[in-house]
Chain A
Amino acid sequence: MSTFEKVVEILVEAKDLEAGNITETSTWDDLGLDSLDTVELVMSVEDAFGVSLEMDETMQTVGDVVKAIEALK
């Protein structure tokens, strides 16, 4: 499973989103997620990948998170 697929799986599971609506360029806004949702996402991602992420303004899309994970792995 690619990092992107895993992130999508986390989002679908935790936030009840439809996998088909999520692409690398999806923004939090596109997905209807607010800052509290992204905090949870970061924690789930950290648990799943064993990395430590900083959620800042540079992380606006699903792809940004995927890139950050891959840079740390």
Chain B
Amino acid sequence: MIHTPICDLLGIRYPVLQGGMAWIADAELAAAVSNAGGLGIISAMNAGGDWVREQIRKAKSLTSQPFGVNIMLASPHVEEVAQIVVEEQVAVVTTGAGNPSKYMKAWLGAGIKVIPVVASTGMAKLVVRNGASAVIAEGGESGGHVGELSTIVLVPQVCDAVDVPVIAAGGIADGRGIAAAFALGASGVQMGTAFLVARECNVHQNYKDKVLKAKDIDTMRTGIRSGHPVRVLKNQFARDYAKMEFDSNVTDEALEQYGAGSLRKAAVEGDNQQGSFMCGQIAGMIQEERTASEIIKSIMAQTEQIVTGGCPWVK
């Protein structure tokens, strides 16, 4: 059996978090993951307070297990949503896209476990100083908004930098990845891309099909010019966008307008013409649609086999 400090901290059976995914991770996916023994997370993305509250209540009706809400700090509704998670007594808050320090006192005061996503040791130290319960060290292999460092470089350095449990994210989708994360010092993992194709995930079928079909080199980063790189599947739209970024005749405004709403178009409409299909590099290893429970159970069984078998090179 695998049991880590993350299981105790969050009251979950398996140390596996389903990452917040804007436009994708709703109450149904979160509840399915929590019912399977992991920690499901609803993505508040840029949504207004009413939607977030409704999703929280829906998740509560679907599971009695703890679940979390991912708050995007760049959201125009961040103040409102930050208050709603307190009112609704959510168990866990994860944060993305920025520094959550401003809100942490209120969340921690309400008994919420706060787990920021960090992409550097500096950010990890800062959020821990402000009371973070754990941190998610997310490498640039991930889907969505990404930092520079890779998971294998970032995770051990974050483990050395802070004294709270570290959750590794980015490029993990099987037992080998989790065993490696443990070897790097993490006591849990967060997966996004792997749960994109969960049966309970309501993303458009075209999106799932593209993730299932993707091979190792089928993702790229866009948004480099704006300083907010995003990892997406390579399609014509992503290539055109990347080209526009290097064209000095294209204004920042024109670029922003061109990309506006592209994740929603991908996730909700399955639109390959104008859609940004955010996805991690590990997509190449993801071959079939399975339930959240099947995903977690098979991955944990493989992890256990690997870590109890030890390293085959040690005699």
Contacts and interface: CB of A to CB of B under 8 A. Distances in A.
Partners in one complex: yes
Interface of A: 15-18, 21, 31-32, 36-37, 40
B236 A21 contact: yes
Residue among B215, B239, B272 having the largest count of chain A Cβ atoms under 10 Å: B239
Q: Which 4 A-B pairs have the closest CB atoms?
A: A32-B239, A16-B235, A18-B236, A36-B217
Interface in B199-220: 210, 215, 217-218
Nearest to A14: B215
B217 A31 contact: no
Nearest to B234: A16
Contacts of B123: none
Contacts of B242: 32
A37 B234 CA distance: 11
Contacts of B58: none
Contact of A15 (B210, B234, B272): B234
Interface of A is mostly: helix
B243 interface: yes
Given A21-B236, A36-B217, A16 B243 contact: no
B217 A16 contact: no
A31 B235 CA distance: 10
B272 A37 contact: no
B217 A37 contact: yes
Given A16-B233, A32-B243, 16 more contacts: A15-B234, A16-B210, A16-B234, A16-B235, A16-B272, A17-B236, A17-B239, A18-B236, A21-B236, A31-B239, A32-B234, A32-B240, A32-B242, A37-B217, A40-B215, A40-B217
Contacts of A36: 217
Contacts of B243: 32
A31 B218 CA distance: 14
Residue among A17, A32, A40 having the largest count of chain B Cβ atoms under 10 Å: A32
Contacts of B239: 17, 31-32
Nearest to A32: B239
Nearest to B215: A40
Contacts of B240: 32
A38 B127 CA distance: 44
A31 B210 CA distance: 19
Contacts of A37: 217
22 contacts: A15-B234, A16-B210, A16-B218, A16-B233, A16-B234, A16-B235, A16-B236, A16-B272, A17-B236, A17-B239, A18-B236, A21-B236, A31-B239, A32-B234, A32-B239, A32-B240, A32-B242, A32-B243, A36-B217, A37-B217, A40-B215, A40-B217
B207 to A, nearest CB: 13
Contacts of A18: 236
Nearest to A16: B235
Interface string B172-197: 00000000000000000000000000
